[in-house]
Amino acid sequence: MHKKHVLITGASRGIGAACAFTFAAHGYHIFLNCNKSIDALQKVADSITQQGGTCTLVPGDVGNPDTVRAIFEKISTIAPGLDVLINNAGISYVGLLTDMSDEEWTCILNTNLSSSFYCSRAAIPYMVRQKKGKIINISSMWGRVGASCEAAYSATKAGMNGLTMALAKELAPSNIQVNAIACGVIDTEMNAVFSDEERQDLSEEIPAGRFGTAAEVGQLAFDLSENHNYLTGQIIGLDGGFI
């Protein structure tokens, strides 16, 4: 039986790690990427192998095209192809746009959006050769409606949504599906800045009455990867009915 391969960016924690655990549990070989949290990425890898799964670390800044080329060169020495790409690498910036520096803007743009372009561009030839593949972009509800004091983050996620819809049309003739998961408030370290009172107030704003979990995102990503070959170009909200 053909062993499937998935590259997950930003896999050291949160949604990326949850995706890695879910795919590994279903027999995928996982290429694990992150930029800075290498120790945490190794812990994810150790957990996967302890559970009988297989994985390869491919650390580096996916917002840098040279790094992405090096990552895919390594992938090519291990795997005959890439079945799934999950563009999950992301950072946030909370503050007034007028307080944001040029360097901070460039960093969030490269990490959240350019990385998806670089990784997708590198993955597509593998998928075209095998006449199938899945690209899943981890987006945000703020890419659909915008968030005050998160203008840059919202802009990068809106760009990811546009990339998803356009690329899906481009790749549909090659039997490659491209979709995005527009996450709501997910209980990850990125949202750990909230106080207990703020968490309670925010939970009450969400119709489902709670934060989502990283595992729920991972399960949806897996479902999109294994099924729904006629579903492409969609921005799928996973936000508990928030928007």
Q: What is the pLDDT of residues 115-127, one digit of tens each?
A: 999 999 999 999 9
Say if CB 22 and CB 218 are below 8 A apart. Answer: yes
pLDDT for the residue 1: 56
Say if CB 171 and CB 121 are below 8 A apart. Answer: no
Q: Is residue 153 annotated as a catalytic residue, yes or no?
A: yes
CA distance linking residue 6 with residue 228, whole number of Å: 17
For 5-238, CATH number out of 3.40.50.720, 2.120.10.60, 3.40.50.1820, 3.40.640.10 equals 3.40.50.720
How long a stretch of residues is the chain?
243
Which of the following is catalytic: 118, 126, 153, 230?
Answer: 153
Residue 180: DSSP 8-state? E
Q: What is the pLDDT of residues 26-41, one digit of tens each?
A: 999 999 999 999 999 9
E strand or H helix at 38 = helix 38-50
Q: What is the pLDDT of residues 187-243, one digit of tens each?
A: 987 777 778 888 899 999 999 999 999 999 999 999 999 999 999 999 999 999 998
